[in-house]
A and B are shown apart, each in its own frame.
Chain A
Amino acid sequence: MSIDTNTGVGAASGMGTSLAARTLAARHRLRWWEPLPWLLAIGFYFAFPRYLGFGTEMLITILFAISLDLALGYAGIITLGHAAFFGAGAYTVGILAKHGIWTEPITGLLWAAMVAGLVGLASGLVLLRTTGLTLLMLTICTMGLLEELANMGAEYTGGFDGLDSLPIQPVFGVFEFDVLYSTTQYLYVLGVLLVCFVFVRTLVYSPFGHSLTGIRENTLRMHAVGAPVRMRLVVCYAISAALAGVAGALWAQANAYVNLSVLGLDRAATVLIVLVLGGYGRLYGGFVGAIAYMVLSHFLSKLYPSAWQLGLGLMLVVIALFARGGILGIGASLWHGHDKQRDAS
């Protein structure tokens, strides 16, 4: 019997060795299909010039979902309050612009990222001592507190009415934001999304990203290999918050207004649904989820104006029951299904 195992090991080791090492070494390389979403996004610009407002909203949702994916999908931080950071970014840009302090859009994003990141850092230092349901509730509480703060501080935030007609300077001092067709907004948001995405992609394939996955997969073991677990989580949470802040800032700039909806539970729940729908912890889940969610809700609300959310709900139930990996998970298992079957037999 021992002879059997030994020959098995000897025969397979050469292949297994190089396969595992090669897979890990090539994990971060660009795959052939990765430019596709960007080409599609540019194609959309030319194909649907009248839908660019819708497209802009979609791109912002993608960025927001990617920021959530970093915390939830990669590090396993259970949160239902991510709109806190979206809102922090949106209000940063809104308040700075409305009061004439800062109206340049690109540097405005940096301010938004910084403020949202600091809110993430401060709340993360407190919240990330907890896990599971407690953490979930605390993230909702944080968002609720911020929402109430925005509601109460009417002098700065416009309270319930929010801030409208935000004066935002042209991008690069040249390209005016177009309220009717959103052409500038669309390309501007697409550019920012690309930069943020490249950043997140680099991060998740880095040793730091690998250790976040480790925390998600087995927190206790990460402690036992000497990882400063809580610090990693706080850093990840703050980065995720900063990115959500950028998404919120883009939303405020593109629409030229902010209101309490940016901090609402509705928005936080929607982005979670988007991510679950697309597939979390998969980098492209945000893209697929946002497109699926927004296209579905767009057409369903046209078809059944009174009960369109029923269709989304059903789809979510199916995903939750049968396809935990979301749409991308289904795709991946179809793609690999054949290999796996061959392996097993």
Chain B
Amino acid sequence: MTALLETRSLSKSFGALRATRDVSFKLEQGARHALIGPNGAGKTTFINLLTGVLKPSAGTVLLKGNDITHVAQAERVKLGIARTFQINRLFRGLSVLENVYMAIAERVGAAPNMFVPAGSRRDVIDEAMELLTRLKLADVAHKTIPELPYGRQRLVELAITLGLKPEVLLLDEPAAGVPSAESHIILDAIDALPKSIGVLIIDHDMDLVFRFAQRITVLVRGAMFAEGTPKEIGANPDVRAVYLGQAAHA
């Protein structure tokens, strides 16, 4: 069976630094997969290679078996690969609804239109409101981003990405910076994601990872170190030594 998203011997070097080393990785359809690793393991570089922000030094990226190594970022979004950011990247001066409108307008091809008012695209507005309702953001849809508590800002981050109706969803530390009292709203939202989406979550929050993932890949110094079910990874003495042990000490 062809994997939803696959990399073959993917490598990326910045000068002498080998940020990604020979990574062959598979994300299956509908997977709940986690990518973990200590700081500087190359997790973010790997995401940037998957989304097309960076070009690999060697190796290939495949989406449903098709080589997309040289497909630009914007095109990959159209093909169904979308991501959230570790640090919020929102349209801060705009309302929550307008934030989500932005993504949906791009997806449905409304955005290049110069001659009709944005407000006349009721289909886009309705879809955005529906998505916001699903994420329990409808009550703040009219507010601008700085008016929201950080936890809900993280939800807007997710809402924009879901507006792209991705098949592959890359979540870069979705709960980062969210106070623990609010983190349940992020976790609930992640639990409620459509089952058909293949989700890759990148995080060091072990509680989140073990609660969410069916499969875990451990990245150390740019290379794949171990892969398996949460149980296997939790029991793997090497992983405990390089990563989990380290995290426990920290």
> What residues of chain A have their CB less than 8 Å away from a CB belonging to chain B?
1-2, 8-9, 12-13, 15-17, 19-21, 23-28, 202-203, 205-211, 213-214, 217-218, 220-229
Contacts and interface: CB of A to CB of B under 8 A. Distances in A.
A13 B134 CA distance: 12
Contacts of A225: 77, 82, 102-103, 106-107, 160, 163-164
B89 A221 contact: yes
A210 B101 contact: yes
A23 B97 CA distance: 10
Contacts of B186: none
16 contacts: A17-B129, A20-B95, A21-B97, A24-B119, A25-B120, A28-B117, A205-B118, A206-B114, A206-B116, A209-B118, A211-B111, A217-B90, A217-B92, A225-B163, A227-B106, A229-B74
B112 A208 contact: yes
B35 interface: no
Given A224-B51, A224-B82, A13 B133 contact: yes
A226 B107 contact: yes
B143 to A, nearest CB: 8
Nearest to A219: B89
A207 B116 contact: yes
A229 B113 CA distance: 15
Contacts of B91: 213-214, 217-218, 221
B81 to A, nearest CB: 10
Contact of B138 (A2, A16, A23, A207): A16
Interface residues of B, number: 57
- Which 7 interchain pairs have the tightest Cβ spacing? A226-B77, A20-B141, A28-B117, A20-B142, A217-B91, A25-B119, A12-B139
B141 A207 contact: no
B133 A218 contact: no
B187 interface: no
A221 B118 contact: no
B142 A16 contact: yes
B228 to A, nearest CB: 30
B118 A28 contact: yes
A203 B96 CA distance: 22
Nearest to A2: B184
A26 B125 CA distance: 12
B25 interface: no
B73 A224 contact: yes
A211 B102 contact: yes
A24 B139 contact: no
Contacts of A2: 184
A15 B105 CA distance: 24
A224 B77 contact: yes
B85 A224 contact: yes
Given A213-B91, A221-B90, 12 more contacts: A8-B139, A20-B95, A27-B117, A28-B117, A207-B105, A210-B118, A211-B111, A217-B94, A224-B82, A225-B77, A225-B164, A226-B76
A205 B98 CA distance: 12
Contacts of A1: 181
Contacts of A222: 102
Contacts of B181: 1
A9 B139 contact: yes
A207 B125 contact: no
Contacts of A12: 139
Contacts of B120: 25, 28
A225 B51 CA distance: 11
Contacts of B114: 202-203, 206, 208-209
A156 to B, nearest CB: 34
Nearest to B77: A226
B70 interface: no
B119 A28 contact: yes
B89 A226 contact: no
Given A21-B97, A207-B112, A210-B118, A226 B164 contact: yes
Interface string B122-145: 101110010001001011111000
A214 B111 CA distance: 11
- Which of A9, A21, A210 has the largest number of chain B CB atoms within 10 A? A210
Interface string B68-82: 000001111110001
Contacts of A20: 95-97, 129, 141-142
B115 A24 contact: no
A169 B112 CA distance: 38
Contacts of A206: 113-118
B231 interface: no
Nearest to A25: B119
A209 B113 CA distance: 9
A147 B138 CA distance: 54
Contacts of B141: 16-17, 19-21
A207 B115 CA distance: 8
A126 B83 CA distance: 29
